[in-house]
Amino acid sequence: MAIGNSSLRGAVLALAAMGIFATHDVVVKQLGTSYSAIQIVFFAALMSFPVVSVILLSDRTSGTLRPVHPWWILLRSVCTVTCGVTAFYAFSKLPLAQTYAILFATPLLITVIAIPLLGETVRLRRWAAVICGLVGVMVVLRPGSTDLGSGHLAALVSAMTGALASVIVRKIGSEERSVVLLLFPMVGNFLAMGALLPFVYQPMPIEHLGLICIIALFGIAGSLLVIAAYRSGEAVIVAPMQYSQILWATGYGWFLFDERLDGGTVLGASIIIGSGLYILFRESRSDASQNQPVLQTRLRQETVTTPRAGLLQRILRLGGDRTMTGQGR
């Protein structure tokens, strides 16, 4: 398949977004040595709230803030908050590359969850890819040969809740206002993390608050770059760029945290990435389901510091991208 200039530009923008997201995660990991993930998530979301609020206030879609599907919105909010805090915790406890390898299982889980929630038909080849990918997760975890800790569990929970939150958007996104889909998880985060904050709070010097600001700004900047990438290039070219995060993780881990890749992580990550790429390309076929649950995930798990790019695009009315223009992205 020939890659045109627009798709090449989209790929470059996506690579830049992944670099920004990786830097976001490095700062999370650095702060995680001194502070609870709960505190980091709370203050990062607080710092990003003014910018996100300006975006939300620009929404001109008619309607109220009352959800059409309140129970789905509640479940999505719980999943989004959980996904964020567990991912932050995993980054603070595990090597960067190992954390990414486990989080890369999200597209596999999206494929499975889309079956009951979206009525997606998954045929033998995609099932084989899902199973191979989950085997790759087991290779990374190596139960029995290495000690599995709370960081591994947190990464798995983050992948599962991120996948469920993504599929819920595909299910109800055409009927709910984007501002509702984004606002409720933010409110839920403030309530949940705010209630837990007194139990874990540690005073933060000004330089650490500056790092919190970097997390907030980089999360939004990365999401905006993702929008630009999908407007420029074909999804089948742009989406695989998410896996470049493993390269950023390897470099950052090596130079900043003295982390070295082990054979199990390399092999497992390769299996997971290969499975995810196969699913992406299968969904890009002209005879594939219009749901495209993995292809439309938009590169990055949604958390309260990294808003879902497709929803931001709808609010900002930046126009269609070079993928399907469905409302549930």
Task: State pLDDT tens for residues 265-313.
Answer: 889 999 999 988 888 777 766 455 555 555 555 557 778 788 887 788 7
Indicate the length of the chain as a whole number: 329
Count CB-CB contacts under 10 A for residue 293. Answer: 27
Task: Report the SS3 class of residue 314.
Answer: helix
Residue position matching structure tokens 């029995």: 144
Task: State pLDDT tens for residues 149-172.
Answer: 899 999 999 999 999 999 999 899
Q: Where are the domains of the chain?
A: 5-314
pLDDT of residue 324: 40
Q: Which amino acid is at 178?
A: S
- In this predicted structure, the answer to whether residue 327 has a pLDDT above a threshold of 80 is no
Task: State pLDDT tens for residues 90-149.
Answer: 999 999 999 999 998 888 888 889 889 888 777 788 889 889 988 999 888 877 666 778
- In this predicted structure, the answer to whether residue 83 has a pLDDT above a threshold of 90 is yes
CA dihedral 311, 244, 108, 124 (to 10 degrees): 120
Cα–Cα distance for residue pair 71/84, rounded to 1 Å: 20
pTM for the predicted model, two decimal places: 0.89
Cα–Cα distance for residue pair 103/49, rounded to 1 Å: 25
Q: Which amino acid is at 228?
A: A
Structure token pair of residue 102? 């486990």
Are 66 and 183 in contact by the 8 Å Cβ rule? The answer is no
Cα–Cα distance for residue pair 153/136, rounded to 1 Å: 16
